[in-house]
């Protein structure tokens, strides 16, 4: 009985995928659209905030859970004013994205993902649910790879570091 238990534990621990510390080249080279309609790669988005803690919020205006989480994100923005808030939208179009930002009064840096969940960035992040939160520390390392609630203790702890 003990050997079966140990086998199961070792099987699951060996198959757990390691959490990446940095973004892949493909993810960094993936392109997004700015509010002004310009194209920018993800590397440039991160470089604009080099040396700062970054919270990435992957969301869409049609996503009920994303909208429900927005007041929690606003609470984080009040508590952690020195953090940069980057919102990456999976909306179905640029107009819906811009309307959502205005309707829900989303404050931060905004980028649209024109390829949606079929792009190198989404593949790297393995988007299986939104909202999706990530934290990048001041050294540019991925501090938190995945949280799906803005009040997740892991998210709050990552922002405190």
Q: What is the CATH number of the domain that holds 33?
A: 3.40.30.10
Evaluate whether residue 115 is within a structural domain.
yes
Mean pLDDT of the residues in the chain: 90
| SS3 state at 35 | coil
Structure confidence at residue 89 as a pLDDT band (50, 70, 90): very high
56, β-bridge pairs: 86, 134
Structurally, the chain folds into a number of domains equal to 1
Evaluate whether residue 10 is within a structural domain.
no
Model pLDDT, residue 155: 96
Does residue 135 carry a pLDDT above 90?
A: yes
pTM above 0.75, yes or no: yes
Q: Which helix (H) or strand (E) holds 134?
A: strand 132-136
Evaluate whether residue 68 is within a structural domain.
yes
pLDDT digits (tens, 9 = 90+) for 71-85: 999 999 999 999 999
Compute φ and ψ for 55, nearest 5 degrees. -105, 125
- Contacts (Cβ under 8 Å, ≥6 apart) of 35: 98, 101, 110
Evaluate whether residue 12 is within a structural domain.
no
Structure confidence at residue 117 as a pLDDT band (50, 70, 90): confident
């Amino acid at each position: 009985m003990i050997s079966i238990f140990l086998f199961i534990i070792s099987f699951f621990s060996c198959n757990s995928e390691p959490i990446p510390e940095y973004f892949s080249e493909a993810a960094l080279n993936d392109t997004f659209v700015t509010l002004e309609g310009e194209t920018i790669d993800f590397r440039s988005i991160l470089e604009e905030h080099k040396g700062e803690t970054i919270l990435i919020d992957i969301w869409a205006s049609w996503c009920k859970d994303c909208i429900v989480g927005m007041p929690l994100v606003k609470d984080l923005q009040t508590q952690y004013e020195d953090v940069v808030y980057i919102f990456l939208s999976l909306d179905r179009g640029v107009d819906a994205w811009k309307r959502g930002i205005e309707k829900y009064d989303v404050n931060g840096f905004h980028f649209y993902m024109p390829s949606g969940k079929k792009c190198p960035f989404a593949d790297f992040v393995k988007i299986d649910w939104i909202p999706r939160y990530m934290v990048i520390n001041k050294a540019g390392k991925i501090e938190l790879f995945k949280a799906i609630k803005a009040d997740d203790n892991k998210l709050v702890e990552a922002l405190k570091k």
